Amino acid sequence: MDLSSIKPALLLASLMIAATPVIYAAIGELVVERAGVLNLGVEGMMITGAICGFIAAVNTDSPMLGFMAAAVGGALLSLLFALLTQYALANQVASGLALTLFGLGVSSLLGQGYVGIKPPSTPKLDIPVLSDLPGIGTVLSAHDIMIYLGLLLVAAVWAVLKYTRIGLILRAVGENHDAAHALGYKVVRVRVLAIMFGGACAGLGGAYISLVRVPQWTEGMTAGVGWIALALVVFASWRAGRVLLGAWLFGGVTVLQLNLQAAGVAIPVEYLSMSPYLITIVVLVIMSSDKNKAPASLGKIFHASS
Amino acid sequence: MAISNLTKTYPGVVANDSVSMELRAGEVHALLGENGAGKSTLVKMIYGLVKPDSGSMKFQGQSFTPANPHTARQAGVAMVFQHFSLFDAMSVAENIALGMENPPPMRDLSDQIKAVSETYGLPLQPDHIVGDLSAGERQRVEIIRCLLQDPKLLIMDEPTSVLTPQEVGVLFETLRKLTAQGVGILYISHKLDEIRELCQHATVLRRGQNVGSCVPSETSAREMAEMMVGSSFQTPERSRHALGDVVLKIDKLSAPSPNEFGTPLREISLELHAGEILGIGGVAGNGQDELLAALSGEMRTVADAVVFEGEVIGRLAPAARRKMGLLTAPEERLGHAAAPDMSLTENALLTGAERENLTSRGFLKWGAAQKFAQSVIESFDVRTPGTETAARALSGGNLQKFVIGREVLQRPKVLVVNQPTWGVDAAAAAAIRQALLDLATEGVAILCISQDLDELIEISDHFAALNEGRLSDIRETESLNMEQIGLMMGGAHGMEVAHVEA
Amino acid sequence: MLRLEKRAQPSKQWAALAPVLAVLITMVVGGGLFALLGKNPFEVIRTIFWDPLFGEFAFYYRPQLLIKAGPLILIAIGLSLGFRAGIWNIGAEGQYIIGALCGAGVALTFYPLDAWFLFPMMILAGALGGWAWAMIPALLKVRFGTNEILVSLMLVYVAEKLLAAMALGPMRNPEGHGFPGSRNLQQYESAHNAELFTGSGLHWGGITALLAVICAYILLNRHILGFNIRLLGQAPRAARFAGVNPNRLTVFCLGISGALAGLAGMYEISGPSGQVSIDFNVGYGFTAIIVAFLGRLHPVGILLAGLLMALTYIGGEIAQSNMNLPAAAIQMFQGMMLFFLLAVDLMANYRLRLTRAEVS
């Protein structure tokens, strides 16, 4: 066992990479839940995004087109969920599960010919000022553009929810859909758009795994990250800033256990790799005492009766 | 505003059948009618929430066909809803912004809110969270939301049902100032005295049809009531009888509310005698639901805070309390007192399992349950195709008769009811009140929680009011007048009379 | 314009018809999908739904039907109780694995003891294992209000890692020449969950599944506990008013579904599968969710749905080997079935009506 091989700065840098898929998926789901919809299909949308992005990137040789395709793929799949829950008024829990099962099937079908291929690599941005900072330069700089975009997205969602009329309406719909309807807001339309935004974000998160983090395609490669993103939204008490915190915590645990594995700690690999899931449970338990912050209409079916 | 021949049908019901009416600027026009007479549908059409099947509207001389509430608001129509269209977890300012077409930036909006609330004597803090406000304050939020739009027509749907008599007085002042500025007000209510005091004209709806109009100040309440109902109906009979021993005693009951925006109970004490009807008045949201939950056993309290026939029962579960003879009927019919998608037989089982012996060793006796449901239906004249009908298919009045009947037939020793006639048609309400009076004559102790003061004055021996979770002194009902009752309910909650210069 | 109208009460006909309709729509749409993959859609559908029962090699496939349907039904019955009460155990796959590990653990501990009581002990261990694994989300929910969906799901991943650790570590066959995987229980007579009638495919798991169907039926239709479960799911506030203790039901429902899933896992590992290996679990715990919904959360419906789903598994395998249909296509096919069911379900509670364009 050689713990000295673990370098804090490199650890933090890889933490940023490990956290990014969760950031995308969780911030998307946060918007969906603030609109009052519980979409448990994040895992399915992520894996679909992962394969759509992978296929597009490999065939066009452009990672950016890959990410775009991933967002479209995730959004299209989420549209199925939107149709089921917003128009066919199906139970959201069951529909979300169906979406995950379906997404896993679709992705492995699409991914048939793509096992073992290497995708084009995503270029890294070297931000001059950041990389010169002593100590944390390695942590903050020389990442690919998607990491920075992810952080930007969190900031944008936070600002939109807090300061804009669109954000206000979205929150109103999630808080009390009957009142929002009575005031003339299009509850279903707002929710469908939110669901599709969530799908696109989950797709991006999935593609980040298949194009940057791993990078290759294997079946079921998201391995529960979508579910962890769902847990993170609870952890974050439905607030954008805290999603970031949770994602870094999760990323940190993941990276640390991988490093411990590499360093040859005497615990078998299997036990170490349980840790992200166990930590997620612990975090859920700690946070679940404070769930009054949940949008009041979360998961309820809306049907305008008049 | 002129409305001609508006018709709107829903499957199985004609909600509005060629309704015509006119409303002039600067008048308060009452829209009268029983529950289900079509008042709400009519105003929803004016507000653009529902589109009429046929007919036309004119507003300020121009043809008016609002496609949605946004266009209605732009044209100058504003509405205060009966069940407020507010968002609990948001601030006052955010709530108001949501009801405006082009809200200014938040800071300017806050200033405007302060200005308007001062002008009309409706004090309100823009940054408070709406869920923490009292019912009266919440209504102020709705009214200010409307006033900021500079409306030409203000629709108010049952605005006084949540106010104390003093608050009603303040509201009327505000409305009179508004009409003096030329605003037309369409005022929906079924409270006849209010209408006689406030309104210049009244249009009466019955089963979706305009059955006549009148000048309220020249028409007696009785005549208007008969127009509404279509026939005269009996007022319940009371028989004098002596009160028995104390059966239920509540002693300094304090408990936090299980809901985030609920009201905690604070040191409630009362004694209830056999054969007594104790009426508990108060504006909704002052601890009524919590008090019922503490008695039904849904909410456990300190053990000796609730004493039933000498036994402490504060920690007992609902089933054990039922077994002893303490029965309850909550306010919310669908989803609380009854399961909407379950049949009447299953709903009879819901509270009848213990006292009616509908189970043996945990196994259900469906035959006995059905018989019990049938007997409730027959004794209380519940109109339904049969015992296998889902609860949600019944009308409000019929389901309420079923809910009350289910408890009455189980021969309670104490019956606690919360808003027993809320949203129920007049005939059913009269039947329910009569059933409660008959039960009291037989020696059952009844605790009747209600917002309807007329109802409480009509049936209760003693009266007390709940205000922010506290219970007032208990007084003999006959010795009280409306003003005293209003003060017991908490007076005007710090409202001042409007001081706008008309 | 089409408009939805809530029915005064749920339509019983539609509720029964919806699954059938969903399966038919899935066949049509799935057929289209297979056509896109360059297969003859009619042939694929026939291979999946007809050949396992009546095709040339049906004598081989028919027993498979019971082998595959057994665990699906057993798990789905347990899940359906919770789903009815609004308690979402999504982690049956994990409870299945833990049940199998506990059952196999007992067998491997006593190896090579030859005793009649070994198999009953394994059954007990399997049920207890699944129960205990389900108690984690149950107790966390009751004590802290933690979301049981997420916790039970996280525990699936933990259970999978544990399975791998066991197969590679403590349970590895000492005579296995270093290969991963335990001793084969099929060769250990006291622990073997053998076929009861040769060629039928029926083992103790099938018997237990049938018993579970009957018990669940009685529970839901004739017992106050089942009534309370339905009440809690349909109207939680009314349930509390009636005196139902939601916490107790949460523990009960999660416990039962965990125990049944654990039993399914233990029957599988001591029978058809035979050994603790990394790829022991094949997703029965997730497919059972589809089975539960397709069977309308009704015990008899689940029985039928379980058989149907087993059919698609077997048919899918045939199509995979005979027609080169990718395995994932069947997984997607099953997912689609749930989708269409949820969509068609609308008709049980709402009526479609053609009206003129209308706001709201």
pLDDT of B498 reads 44
pLDDT of C5 reads 73
Q: Examine residue A11 and state whether it is found in any structural domain, yes or no.
A: no
Q: Which of A123-137, C197-211, C322-336 has the lowest mean pLDDT?
A: A123-137
Q: Examine residue A255 and state whether it is found in any structural domain, yes or no.
A: no
For residue B326, give the 3-state DSSP assignment: strand
Of residues C37 and B201, more confidently modeled: B201
Any residues with CB less than 8 A from the CB of B68 and at least 6 apart, and which? Answer: A184, B48, B49, C359
**The two structure tokens encoding residue B172:** 């009327």
Q: Examine residue B374 and state whether it is found in any structural domain, yes or no.
A: no
**Which residue, among B50, B94, B98, B260, would best test binding to A if mutated, counting the most A CBs under 10 Å from its CB?**
B98
B223 and B283: one domain?
A: no
B21 and B157: one domain?
A: yes
A174 alpha carbon, distance to own chain's centre:
20
pTM for the full model? 0.87
Q: Which of B428-437, B481-490, C106-115, C315-324 has the lowest mean pLDDT?
A: B481-490
Give just the sign of the alpha carbon dihedral B11, B14, B19, B24. negative
Q: Examine residue B397 and state whether it is found in any structural domain, yes or no.
A: no
Beta pairing partners, A143: A125
Q: Is the pLDDT of residue A306 over 60?
A: no
B326-329/B414-418 β-pairing: parallel
What's the whole-number average pLDDT of chain C?
88
B196 and B126: one domain?
A: yes
Q: List CB contacts (< 8 A) between A80 and chain C.
A: 339
Q: Examine residue A175 and state whether it is found in any structural domain, yes or no.
A: yes
Beta pairing partners, B360: B363
For the segment C274-304, what is each residue's pLDDT rounded down to a tens digit?
A: 888 888 888 899 999 989 998 989 999 999 9
**CB-CB under 8 Å, B336 with C235:** yes
B62-63/B13-22 β-pairing: unpaired
Any residues with CB less than 8 A from the CB of B146 and at least 6 apart, and which? Answer: B78, B79, B80, B99, B154
The total domain count for chain C is: 1
- A223 in reach of chain C (CB within 8 A): yes
Q: How far is C97 from chain A (nearest CA, A)?
A: 15
Q: Is the pLDDT of residue A130 over 70?
A: no
Q: How far is C283 from chain A (nearest CA, A)?
A: 10
Tokens 């919310």 sit on residue: B332
Q: What is the DSSP string of B39-89?
A: HHHHHHHHTTSS--SEEEEEETTEE---SSHHHHHHHTEEEE-SS----TT
B29 and B102: one domain?
A: yes
**Nearest residue on chain C to A306, alpha-carbon basis:** C360
- A227 in reach of chain C (CB within 8 A): yes
Q: List CB contacts (< 8 A) between B99 and chain A.
A: 183
Q: Which of B71-75, B287-291, C7-11, C187-191 has the lowest mean pLDDT?
A: C7-11
B156 within 8 A of B179, measured Cβ to Cβ: no
pLDDT of A5 reads 61
Q: List CB contacts (< 8 A) between B298 and chain C.
A: 240-241
**Amino acid at residue number C323:** M
**Nearest residue on chain C to B319, alpha-carbon basis:** C243
**CA dist., res. B99 & res. C68, Å (int):** 58
**CA dist., res. B26 & res. C158, Å (int):** 71
**The two structure tokens encoding residue C3:** 């408009």
Residues 225-244 of C with CB under 8 A from B: 225, 227, 230-231, 234-235, 237-243
pLDDT of A93 reads 85
B484 and B455: one domain?
A: yes
Q: Examine residue A208 and state whether it is found in any structural domain, yes or no.
A: yes
B296 and B442: one domain?
A: yes
Report CA-CA distances (Å) from C112 to B232, C108, C126, C166: 90, 8, 19, 19
Q: Examine residue B285 and state whether it is found in any structural domain, yes or no.
A: yes
pLDDT of B393 reads 85
Q: Which domain holds residue C173?
A: 73-302
B197 and B308: one domain?
A: no
Instruction: Tell me whether residue A269 is exposed, middle or buried, using C-beta atoms within 10 angstroms of its C-beta: 0 to 12, 13 to 18, 19 or more.
Output: middle
**Residue C357 confidence class, pLDDT cut points 50, 70, 90:** very low
**Nearest residue on chain A to C325, alpha-carbon basis:** A109
pLDDT of B417 reads 95
The total domain count for chain B is: 2
**CB-CB under 8 Å, B11 with C238:** no
**CA dist., res. C341 & res. C311, Å (int):** 18
Is this prediction's ipTM beyond 0.90? no
What stretch of H or E contains A283?
helix A275-287
B500 alpha carbon, distance to own chain's centre:
31
**CB-CB under 8 Å, C165 with A271:** yes
**Which residue, among B40, B87, B100, would best test binding to A if mutated, counting the most A CBs under 10 Å from its CB?**
B87
**Amino acid at residue number B356:** E
Q: Examine residue C356 and state whether it is found in any structural domain, yes or no.
A: no
pLDDT of B351 reads 92
pLDDT of B158 reads 81
Q: How far is C242 from chain B (nearest CA, A)?
A: 6
**Nearest residue on chain A to B67, alpha-carbon basis:** A184
Any residues with CB less than 8 A from the CB of B115 and at least 6 apart, and which? Answer: none
pLDDT of A262 reads 80
**Which residue, among A183, A237, A298, would best test binding to B if mutated, counting the most B CBs under 10 Å from its CB?**
A183
For the segment A50-71, what is each residue's pLDDT rounded down to a tens digit?
A: 999 999 999 998 889 999 999 9
- C114 in reach of chain B (CB within 8 A): no
Tokens 């309100």 sit on residue: B124
Q: Is the pLDDT of residue C61 over 70?
A: yes
- A84 in reach of chain C (CB within 8 A): yes
Q: List CB contacts (< 8 A) between C331 and chain A.
A: 101, 104-105, 108-109
Neighbours of chain C (3+ CB pairs under 8 A): A, B
Domain end position, chosen among B182, B197, B229: B229
- CA nearest C78: which of C334, C294, C296, C289? C289
- B346 in reach of chain C (CB within 8 A): yes
pLDDT of C237 reads 92
Q: Examine residue C250 and state whether it is found in any structural domain, yes or no.
A: yes
Domain end position, chosen among B181, B197, B229: B229
**CA dist., res. C331 & res. C15, Å (int):** 25
**CB-CB under 8 Å, C154 with A271:** no
Q: List CB contacts (< 8 A) between B73 and chain A.
A: 184
B184 and B259: one domain?
A: no
Any residues with CB less than 8 A from the CB of A255 and at least 6 apart, and which? Answer: A11, A14, A15, A18
CA atoms within 13 A on the CB side of C283: 15
Instruction: Tell me whether residue C321 is exposed, middle or buried, using C-beta atoms within 10 angstroms of its C-beta: 0 to 12, 13 to 18, 19 or more.
Output: exposed
**CB-CB under 8 Å, C358 with B322:** no
B266 and B317: one domain?
A: yes
**CA dist., res. B107 & res. B93, Å (int):** 9
Domain end position, chosen among B229, B263, B297: B229
**CB-CB under 8 Å, C227 with B390:** no
Q: Which domain holds residue A40?
A: 20-126+137-223
**CA dist., res. A95 & res. B137, Å (int):** 40
Q: Which domain holds residue B282?
A: 246-335+411-488
Q: Examine residue B393 and state whether it is found in any structural domain, yes or no.
A: no
- CA nearest A251: which of A213, A201, A289? A213
pLDDT of B236 reads 63
B164 and B269: one domain?
A: no
**CA dist., res. B84 & res. B99, Å (int):** 12
Intervals of chain B under pLDDT 70: 11-13, 36, 83-84, 230-240, 491-502
Beta pairing partners, B171: none
Beta pairing partners, B129: B91
User: What is the 8-class DSSP label of residue B282?
Assistant: -
Tell me the backbone φ, ψ of residue B253, rounded to 5 degrees: -80, 115
pLDDT of C358 reads 41
CATH of the domain at B194: 3.40.50.300
Beta pairing partners, B448: B279, B417
B281 within 8 A of B473, measured Cβ to Cβ: no
Q: Examine residue B380 and state whether it is found in any structural domain, yes or no.
A: no
B105 alpha carbon, distance to own chain's centre:
36
pLDDT of C218 reads 95
Q: How many helices (H) and strands (E) does chain C have?
A: 14, 2
Q: Examine residue A213 and state whether it is found in any structural domain, yes or no.
A: yes
**CB-CB under 8 Å, C6 with A84:** no
Q: How far is C260 from chain B (nearest CA, A)?
A: 23
Report CA-CA distances (Å) from A35 to A254, A296, B412: 30, 10, 46
Q: List CB contacts (< 8 A) between A277 and chain C.
A: 154-155, 157-158
Q: Examine residue A100 and state whether it is found in any structural domain, yes or no.
A: yes
Q: List CB contacts (< 8 A) between B339 and chain C.
A: 231, 234-235, 238-239
Q: Examine residue C14 and state whether it is found in any structural domain, yes or no.
A: no
Q: Examine residue B153 and state whether it is found in any structural domain, yes or no.
A: yes
B284 and B212: one domain?
A: no
The total domain count for chain A is: 1
Q: How far is C175 from chain B (nearest CA, A)?
A: 53
User: What is the 8-class DSSP label of residue A84?
Assistant: I
**CA dist., res. C306 & res. A248, Å (int):** 42
Beta carbon pairs, B and C, within 8 Å: 83
Residue C272's CB is within 10 A of a number of other CB atoms, namely 18
Give just the sign of the alpha carbon dihedral A287, A289, A293, A298. positive
**Peptide bond before residue C112 is cis, with ω within 30 degrees of 0:** yes
Q: Is the pLDDT of residue A127 over 80?
A: no
Q: Examine residue B381 and state whether it is found in any structural domain, yes or no.
A: no
User: What is the 8-class DSSP label of residue B235?
Assistant: P
**Number of residues that make up chain A:** 306
**CA dist., res. B393 & res. B395, Å (int):** 7
pLDDT of B148 reads 86
**CA dist., res. B184 & res. B498, Å (int):** 18
**Amino acid at residue number B45:** M
Residues 34-63 of A with CB under 8 A from C: 40
B194 and B252: one domain?
A: no
